[in-house]
């Protein structure tokens, strides 16, 4: 895909919405076999939106100080472990 059609994680998804709806989704629909993967524009849009959000969060996380990164990593680990305990006891 050409560089001008790719999403930039430094910018918000909303500011790049036009690229998604006019270039990326039509290109994906041409490539995807509708018989094998019957998927609509709305589903593709949500998938692209979720992927961009997670990539942007990770990019923003890397710009934080080392202390802030470590603190957030600990917080995420605790939350993950807490979920494991909840799922195991159910």
Please give the helix or strand (H or E) that residue 71 lies within, else none: helix 66-89
pLDDT digits (tens, 9 = 90+) for 16-69: 999 999 999 999 999 998 899 899 999 999 999 999 999 999 999 889 999 999
- The number of CA neighbours under 13 Å toward the Cβ of 7 is 25
- pLDDT score for 48: 94
Question: What gap in Å lies between CA 65 and CA 69, rounded to an integer?
Answer: 6
Percent of the chain with pLDDT over 90: 50
pTM value?
0.72
Tell me, what's the pLDDT at 46?
95
Average pLDDT in the 70-88 region?
A: 80
């Amino acid at each position: 895909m050409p560089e001008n059609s790719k999403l930039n994680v430094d910018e918000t998804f909303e500011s790049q919405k036009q690229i998604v709806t006019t270039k990326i989704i039509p290109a994906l629909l041409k490539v995807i076999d509708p018989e094998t993967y019957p998927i609509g524009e709305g589903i593709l849009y949500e998938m692209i939106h979720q992927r961009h959000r997670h990539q942007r969060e990770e990019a923003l996380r890397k710009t934080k100080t080392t202390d802030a990164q470590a603190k957030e990593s600990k917080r995420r680990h605790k939350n993950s472990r807490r979920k494991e305990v909840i799922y195991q006891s159910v």
